[in-house]
Amino acid sequence: MKGLNNDARNDHHTDPDLVIDVDRINKHFGHKHVVKDLSLQVRRGEIYGFLGPNGSGKTTTIRMMCGLLTPDSGHGTCLGFDIIKQSDQIKRRVGYMTQRFSYWEDLSIRENLDFVARIYAMPNRKEVVDQALEKLGLTSRAKQLAGSLSGGWKQRLALAASMLHEPELLLLDEPTAGVDPAARRDFWEELHRLAARGISVLVSTHYMDEAERCHKLAYLAYGKLLVQGTAAEVVAGQALATWALYSNINGDQNSAHSAANSNALVALSEHLHGQPGVDQLVAFGTSLHVCGKDATQLEKTLRRAMQSYNFHMEAIPTSLEDVFIYMMNRSADNFGEQT
Ligand SMILES: Nc1ncnc2c1ncn2[C@@H]1O[C@H](COP(=O)(O)OP(=O)(O)OP(=O)(O)O)[C@@H](O)[C@H]1O
């Protein structure tokens, strides 16, 4: 990174390939235990996705990684620096993008970037800002107020601003919330270009398509990291059998058929609820996805139901979304009452 001394990295930091390496960190807010014994490792050039229901501790964890919050216990390093003792070193070397656009809406695009360059005391400010504007494709609109940009452009400006000081690690907290699919796709293409250059990314998201674009994922619920791995590993790890149930009534024909279809779907869902082998029922458009741990029992139950309902069934691969809904429901059962 430009313009900084190469301060001593943590003595115990052994693997230079690990940009984040934390072990059993905890955080309380008052009596509330919001991050519980969380261990996490992120490798150089990896896009690591952070998923989990609202309030599960993703933002708190991200803020502990970048030195903005101190863990109550546990230890670890970020970019080789101790997350407890060397938070200043970390703050200067990471790019952090908060959930909401946190730049100045009443400053121009150029002024925003220039302000950030000043914060980082960058010696070659004009050059750096010019380059960032060019990369963003915003040179001709540099004088436009940031507040007048669309949601997608604001996020790209925020990403450019958080990259200005050339951080080795980006911490992105729901960077594309509320952004349309085309702008989200552009944003993710940029993340993959950065990762290809060796920049690591820890990104929280609620979008399944984004989860699938991460090299690795972690799923958090009630402050506990429940699973981590590639999307395929996370799906395989839950070992769920999944069937799609389709109505035999052609819902495309007219609105009466569509209504009959919807009613039949609701009736079948109510019938299957709580039956042996049925762990989860989720309506997906005109079909019903049914998941269960006990594949044999699930199939038996469904075949029996097909005899009395005008539906047919098809085994389908379990999706990441099926798995996350399953984990979210389980974690509510297991941890929901605890703090
Ligand atoms: N500064 C704070 N003081 C008190 N409680 C806090 C503070 N920050 C977060 N919390 C609480 O800690 C818990 C975890 O919040 P956090 O923002 O980390 O979750 P999250 O997974 O990022 O949620 P979301 O998906 O909604 O952004 C929540 O119950 C939240 O209310």
Distances (CA, A) of 251 to 244, 288, 310: 16, 14, 13
d(CA 56, ligand 1 centre) in Å: 7
Are 184 and 178 contacting, i.e. CB atoms less than 8 angstroms apart? no
Question: In angstroms, how far is CA 247 from the centroid of its own chain?
Answer: 34
Burial state string for 161-177 with b = 16 or more CB within 10 A and e = fewer than 16: bbbbbebbbbbbbbbbe
- For domain 241-317, the CATH superfamily is Elongation Factor G (Translational Gtpase), domain 3 (3.30.70.870)
Ligand 1 pocket check: which of 34, 96, 331 to mutate, most ligand atoms within 8 Å of Cβ?
A: 34
**Residue tagged 């974690």 (tokens):** 331
The angle that helices 181-196 and 151-163 make with each other, rounded to 10 degrees, is: 20
Which residues does a 6 A CB cutoff place in the pocket of ligand 1? 29, 34, 52, 54-60
How many Å apart are CA 91 and CA 4, to the nearest integer? 12
Q: What is the pLDDT along the chain (339 residues), one digit of tens a residue?
A: 443 444 566 655 567 889 999 999 999 999 999 999 999 999 999 999 999 989 999 999 999 998 899 999 999 999 999 999 999 999 889 999 988 777 888 999 999 999 999 988 888 999 999 999 988 888 888 999 999 988 888 888 898 899 898 899 999 999 988 788 888 898 899 899 999 999 999 999 999 999 999 999 999 999 999 999 999 999 999 999 999 999 887 655 566 666 777 788 899 999 999 999 999 999 888 899 999 999 999 999 999 999 999 899 999 999 999 999 898 888 766 666 554
How many Å apart are CA 3 and CA 267, to the nearest integer? 66
pTM attached to this predicted model: 0.87
Complex-level ipTM beyond the 0.90 threshold: yes
Domain boundaries 18-236, corresponding CATH code: 3.40.50.300
User: Which residues fall within 8 angstroms of residue 171, CB to CB, at 6 or more apart?
Assistant: 62, 65, 66, 94, 95, 96, 97, 202, 203
Q: Where are the domains of the chain?
A: 18-236, 241-317
